Amino acid sequence: MGDWSPAEAAHRAASDAELIAWVDEQDGLLGALPRAELRLRGLIGRGTFILLFNAAGELCVHRRALSKAIYPGYWDVAAGGMVQADEDYALSAARELEEELGVAGVPLREHGRFFFDQPDNRLWCSVFSAVWDGPLRLQPEEVLEACFLAPSQVLSWAGERPVCPDSLVALEHYLRCSTAS
């Protein structure tokens, strides 16, 4: 499994085995399946995207670990992940934000949902945002580095660096919702 550390390999194996909420094209719950099986069979899961801003309005972007199954080493504009079988979107978002970036106890604001459909990544996605000016505690098995950038700068990165397409759609969704309200 590449040049992964034992911790990264163990984390990837555990991640692939997690039971994820399996849903239909209308986001109706069908059951639970291991994450790797959902991917392999091209089935739909649920995912959360948490856009973390600082008080200056800059967005936290981070680079994904090379051991990630999807978009390894890509820049990600949102914390987040798959919704586990026993979670709702909000609970998953809070868990993922704490796991990946070490941010806990902040109010999460929900900004609606969208369907993301690519052959290797089919998700019903719920978008959240939060504001945090404290330190980040990056989970080394998932996140290589992080920084805060102006949202306009983040959007220009997409043409210059590999950026997760699903989280870019989440950012665009957030920006549309923010200007509409």
Binding residue ranges for Mg(2+)? 96, 100
Binding residues: 96, 100
| Ordered DSSP codes for the chain | -TT--HHHHHHHHHHHHSEEEEE-TT--EEEEEEHHHHHHHT-EEEEEEEEEE-TTSPEEEEEEPTT-SSSTT-EESSEEEEPBTT--HHHHHHHHHHHHH---S---EEEEEEEEEETTEEEEEEEEEEE--S-----TTTEEEEEEE-HHHHHHHTTTS-B-HHHHHHHHHHHHHHHH-
